[in-house]
């Protein structure tokens, strides 16, 4: 099938008068189009911070408070969860520079554990996780941007997704600038909350922060509930691994990937902890638990006529969240298609803009489909367990890779104590989640396992009927003409080869000297 894809790729380039090849030939000795390395350190930090800080810290930190049973334990949960997130990010940093592929944990699981495990990670992400996340965030944006101006207006759910898909299709630089701007906006909004909290403390409004009162429980402490509090906190920190999805577009990834992690995770942890401290200076635990939009309630209490700032802040946060999720999830689908686990059209990039337009359009379409459903919150509950299960599988893969390939080049090498600590934490969370919610977790497993027959029919089965292969190839060619895309020049074909060979090939795009790497100004 790779030969057929290459045939139609060459056919498209010939039909376009050779422009596709000449456009990038000046930057690549192979004459191929490639993803541009345009993501610097600031944009990398923006991707991590922008994806972690969504609507959660503004809308519903009450999940942690409700299960932690006291203010003091809730703050401990936020701090410990931030530390565990930093440990997980360190593990991903080593994997990211050892297997420098876009696609994040999908690429790592596939290369370490084989095609089926990688496909199941991709399957659950494509089917539910990312479309549902983006749909929920886009709907939250629509609700909050209209609330201050038109409280009775029914929000248009699709505008945000359409606009940001267009931006991401147009330019990687535009997409990262949008991410930078809106990340700065949400940090300023959170800074306002923290500053107001400091003012409240200076006024003596810190009753619930005093040790004598901080651990006053409003319900009995329970290990199962504490585990759920950590799980709620972990959801709020979700997105910390998204930078690994765009490794191939990072400028100097060996340096900028770990630096972005070291800057972003402590920053987010600081912001989360102090924002929650600010909340309890203005609200009692009972008031916080009664609110469905904590930041809005906080603003109404302290900002008076300027309380409209909080809904706008949530809108800014969610708009940046949709942009970051579109940017990174489209790279996951791009990576899956390049490995032969999704239609090859999704692995193609625009001949001039060097953006994965088919993958972005596919991401947008799947998000719009989710916006048509009424039970997307139930769906995300089903797959949340599986999503975090794969985090543990990926970190376990780091240990497996150390054993199987001890001499492999690792620009970053951390102590194995860290992945062990991470795995113990996640085992604690997942065991108690399975114990507390067996039906939800079981349904999540069932959704994931529907990918097994799809893998064997669509990927593992090589000798498909010629009429089917011909139809797929023609559809791919039509898609190429519609999107003006070609297969990336540096890709030598999806590999069904040996695992060790895949790991060796995965380093090829980043193993050249600086003088030989592609410039970021063009393809």
User: Which among 160, 457, 107, 432 has a CA at the least distance from the CA of 316?
Assistant: 160
50 membership: H or E segment, kind and range: helix 41-52
Q: With 80 as the cut, is the pLDDT of residue 489 above it? A: no
Determine contact, residues 91/421, Cβ cutoff 8 Å: no
pLDDT 10s digits, 92-113:
989 988 888 778 888 899 999 9
d(CA 52, CA 236): 7
Predicted local confidence at residue 152, as pLDDT: 59
| 4 or 22, which is more confident | 4
Predicted local confidence at residue 517, as pLDDT: 39
Predicted local confidence at residue 312, as pLDDT: 79
Tokens of 358: 């088919």
Predicted local confidence at residue 21, as pLDDT: 44
pTM above 0.85, yes or no: no
Q: With 60 as the cut, is the pLDDT of residue 308 above it? A: yes
Distance of CA 103 to the CA centre of its chain: 10
The full DSSP string for 112-175 is HH-HHHHHHHHHHIIIIIHHHHHHHHHHHHHHHHHTTT-TTPPPPSSHHHHHHHHHHHH-HHHH
Predicted local confidence at residue 37, as pLDDT: 76
Predicted local confidence at residue 374, as pLDDT: 52
Least confident of 33-47, 96-110, 185-199, 500-514: 500-514
Longest dimension (CA), the chain: 77
* CB proximity list for 462: less than 8 A, separation 6 or greater: none
| 172 or 99, which is more confident | 99
Tokens of 442: 């079981």
Q: With 90 as the cut, is the pLDDT of residue 394 above it? A: yes
* CB proximity list for 99: less than 8 A, separation 6 or greater: 107, 108, 111, 503, 506, 507
Q: What is the mean pLDDT of residues 452-457?
A: 91
pLDDT classification of 492: cutoffs 50, 70, 90: very low
pLDDT classification of 518: cutoffs 50, 70, 90: very low
User: Which among 266, 267, 303, 286 has a CA at the least distance from the CA of 208?
Assistant: 286
Predicted local confidence at residue 279, as pLDDT: 92
Residue 247 has a CB neighbour count (10 Å cut-off) of: 25
Q: With 50 as the cut, is the pLDDT of residue 52 above it? A: yes
| 135 or 95, which is more confident | 95
**∠ CA 96-101-107, rounded to 5°:** 85
Predicted local confidence at residue 336, as pLDDT: 86
Question: Highest mean pLDDT range out of 391-405, 442-456, 483-497?
Answer: 391-405
Determine contact, residues 169/358, Cβ cutoff 8 Å: no
| 23 or 282, which is more confident | 282
Q: What is the mean pLDDT of the chain?
A: 77
Q: What is the mean pLDDT of residues 192-210?
A: 90
Predicted local confidence at residue 496, as pLDDT: 40
User: Which among 488, 410, 387 has a CA at the least distance from the CA of 100?
Assistant: 410
pLDDT 10s digits, 329-368:
777 877 888 888 888 888 888 888 878 888 888 888 877 7
Least confident of 49-53, 190-194, 306-310, 486-490: 486-490
| 418 or 350, which is more confident | 418
Least confident of 31-35, 242-246, 255-259, 424-428: 31-35
Percent of the chain predicted with pLDDT > 70: 80
Q: With 70 as the cut, is the pLDDT of residue 3 above it? A: no
pLDDT classification of 29: cutoffs 50, 70, 90: very low
Predicted local confidence at residue 320, as pLDDT: 78
């Amino acid at each position: 099938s790779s030969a057929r894809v290459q045939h139609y790729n060459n056919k498209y380039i010939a039909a376009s008068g050779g422009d596709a090849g000449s456009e990038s030939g000046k930057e690549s000795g192979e004459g191929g189009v490639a993803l541009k390395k345009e993501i610097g350190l600031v944009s990398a930090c923006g991707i991590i911070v922008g994806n972690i800080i969504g609507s959660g810290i503004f809308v519903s930190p009450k999940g942690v408070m409700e299960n932690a049973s006291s203010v003091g334990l809730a703050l401990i949960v936020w701090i410990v969860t931030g530390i565990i997130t930093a440990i997980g990010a360190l593990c991903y940093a080593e994997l990211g520079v050892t297997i420098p592929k876009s696609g994040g944990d999908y690429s790592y699981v596939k290369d370490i554990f084989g095609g089926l495990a990688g496909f199941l990670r991709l399957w659950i992400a494509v089917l539910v996780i990312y479309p549902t996340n983006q749909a929920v965030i886009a709907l939250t944006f629509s609700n909050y941007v209209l609330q201050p101006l038109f409280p009775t207006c029914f929000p248009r759910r699709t505008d945000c997704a359409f606009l940001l898909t267009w931006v991401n299709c147009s330019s990687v630089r535009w997409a990262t600038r949008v991410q930078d701007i809106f990340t700065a906006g949400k940090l300023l909004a959170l800074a306002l909350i923290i500053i107001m909290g400091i003012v409240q403390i200076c006024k003596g409004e810190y009753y619930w922060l005093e040790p004598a009162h901080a651990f006053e429980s409003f319900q009995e402490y329970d290990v199962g509930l504490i585990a759920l509090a950590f799980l709620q906190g972990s959801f709020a920190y979700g997105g910390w691994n998204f930078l690994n999805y765009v490794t191939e577009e990072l400028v100097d990834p060996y340096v900028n990937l770990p630096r972005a992690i070291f800057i972003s995770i402590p920053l987010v942890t600081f912001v989360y902890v102090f924002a929650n401290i600010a909340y309890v200076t203005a609200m009692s635990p009972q008031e916080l638990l009664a609110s469905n939009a904590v930041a809005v309630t906080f603003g109404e209490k302290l900002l008076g006529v300027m309380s409209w700032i909080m809904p706008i802040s949530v809108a800014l946060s969610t708009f940046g969240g949709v942009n970051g999720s579109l940017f990174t999830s489209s790279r996951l689908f791009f990576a899956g298609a390049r490995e032969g686990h999704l239609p090859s059209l999704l692995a193609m990039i625009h001949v001039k803009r060097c953006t994965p337009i088919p993958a972005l359009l596919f991401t947008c379409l799947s998000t719009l489909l989710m916006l048509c459903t009424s039970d997307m919150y139930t769906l995300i509950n089903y797959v949340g367990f599986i999503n975090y299960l794969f985090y543990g599988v990926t970190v376990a893969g780091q240990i497996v890779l150390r054993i199987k390939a001890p001499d492999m080049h690792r620009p970053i090498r951390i102590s194995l104590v860290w992945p062990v600590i991470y795995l113990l934490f996640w085992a604690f969370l997942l065991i108690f989640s399975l114990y507390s919610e067996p039906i939800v977790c079981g349904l999540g497993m069932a959704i994931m396992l529907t990918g097994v027959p799809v893998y064997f029919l669509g990927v593992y089965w090589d000798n498909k009927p010629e009429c089917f292969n011909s139809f797929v190839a023609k559809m791919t060619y039509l898609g190429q003409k519609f999107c003006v895309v070609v297969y990336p020049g540096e890709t030598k074909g999806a590999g069904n080869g040996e695992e060790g060979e895949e790991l060796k090939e995965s380093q090829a795009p980043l193993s050249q000297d600086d003088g030989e790497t592609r410039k970021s100004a063009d393809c």
